[in-house]
Structure 1
Amino acid sequence: MAVLLVHLELLILSSLLSLAVQPSLAYLQYGQACKATVPYNRNEDCDRSALLSCQNGFCACHTNVTDAFYHPTSKKCIILLGTRCDPNFYHTTTRGCVAGSCNQVTKICSCLPGRAASYEGLSCSKLIDETCSSDAECGYRQTLMKCVAGQCSCPNSLDNYFDRDAAICRVHTGSTCRPGGYLSCDSEAECVPVPKLDKVSWCQCNAKYPTATKQTSIRGLDSPHYGQAPCVKVVQFGEQCSSHQPNYATATRLVCDINAQLMCKNEKCICQFRTGLQWDNEKKSCVSGLLGQCFIPTYGNSTKVTYSQSNKYWQPPRKLNMIGYNF
């Protein structure tokens, strides 16, 4: 019995020693010889996390659907921002992109919204108000943001705002600007000279988007903090509109035509909530049917009625006889 136990212990020890001397499994690196053991998974031997696949017997960058290339410093293949990538590549969180991620639609390595790619395509800028230690971290050359007091900020916090869609600082509508300068106006405005002021220009709305007024019924846009109200576009019945009260930097600028008795509901222009109002396509306005409430818009006419007095309603009598008079 004792001999049997000793023999069993020797077998276990021998097995452990054989496992210890076996080399650990490791993926092949760039330039190493490989063998495509599975026809439909040709990168099985190569390090997929380094974006390698077995091509012509050697591990190389996966270039048939991407613009990957070998980066000697990091010893792996990388895909620069602005170049082709594969959104189905799940072996890294960035889908093989050196920064940002692979856009599912364009299949291009892109930074997340509000961030800009460096000229070299190696990094994405920080977001506005994020902590920083240099202008380069804020992507100054692309975003025009500087590192001020440890935060990424636009040059002038009062006259400038950060356009997250374009990832760049812009000049508020109504603020002074420099024609051809590095800080541009909003896409719906242009830098034009101020009347009667020599060598001074400001951002004003272009012809497509007139300047907002009280008539647009958007509150808060003409706050002194923002200078002048932003540019708006008046839209008609059935068109998309802004059903919320936007702030200056993110104003939707799609306003229903109140002259046509329209209001914004669920982001669509509809007739205002009053009895009997219906849209008349010929008159391009909401009109009232028989016995419905009447609306007389009087602002801007010769009587010079103020805006607060402009909405005049006529209520029908509760009872009418056959010829239209009260009982």
Structure 2
Amino acid sequence: MFELLLILVCLILNAFLAGAETAFIAVSRPTLREYVRQGNEKAKLLLTLRENPERTLSIIQVGITFLGALAAALGGAGAEESITPWIVKTFSLKEPLAEILALMIVVLPLTYVSVVIGELVPKSLALRRPLFFASETAPWLYQVSRFINPIVTLFEWSTKLILSSFPKKHVISEEAQNEETSLPLHTLSSFDRQYILNIVKVERTTVKEILVEWPEVVYVNSTQTLQEVESAVISSGHTRLPAIKGDEVIGILNAKEFLAFQKTDQTNWLSLLRPAVIIQDQLPILSALRLMQDKRIHMAVVYHGASKVGIVTMEAIFEEIVGDIYDEEDDGTLKRILSSARLNRS
């Protein structure tokens, strides 16, 4: 009974780590940065973990491997101690054959439950709501990383030690064959190398991976008054906001144009809307960038089939290549000035 309880605990922890791993990979960086700007502490913690994704994923994998091995060992021990004697007594079989049957009785159901409950279910749930799952697991994952970090360091050191014992001449000869056509990355700075690696990665990246999900998008409604739109513009601090009518996106509102519009006597702010460009979430981001350049826009609305799923900006695409981009508006100064001016006016 005690072994069964430990196996159950291992499965639960394995499911936690499997879901955290999937959510960690699936959550988009623009969405994560938006949450950080809003002061979400869990998002800040998750962003800290993403500063070194390879090491974080290694830590998760160590935990998953350890839990899987522990569950298998407990299952094998339980089979040998409890089921084997029962098989020998009931079916009058020899002990070696009884041990094999006992292991099969334990291992097959355990494998099924481990795959379904410990892997597939948590990963599917994490893919449905990656930001929520990643944010909720980030504090626990951070603590796990602090505990397992020395073990991962030991594994990395052991791997390098083993690899150092292999002859390097085969690797050198292979590099020599491609010397004329290969880019000498070792001659570049780490900064330049990261650019090149980002460009290679960005060719395989789709809009779905970097979009800001629609529930997190700040937008204005065609039914809102001038004052309500002003409140939304100031509280968001964004330069551009989608405008909707019912469930349909009818255009993009430029915040700077709107603030200038308020100096006039007009009230029909809908006249400021620029056409909204619609793209599909499976579009490669380089294709999306070319489209946005052709249309001379900085924001596009992303759809999955006939359903809108979010927005993508030119800045988000650039950040996939050059890393995080910060401007003067990111520190909230403009937002505070506008809010103060609005209070004084009222």
Which bracket does the TM-score occupy, shorter chain normalised?
Answer: under 0.3
Identify the structure with bigger relative contact order (alpha carbons < 8 Å, sequence gap 6+): 2
Q: Which has the larger radius of gyration?
A: 1
Q: Which has the higher helix share?
A: 2
Q: Structure 1 length normalisation: TM-score? A: 0.20
Q: Structure 2 length normalisation: TM-score? A: 0.19
Q: Which has the higher strand share?
A: 1
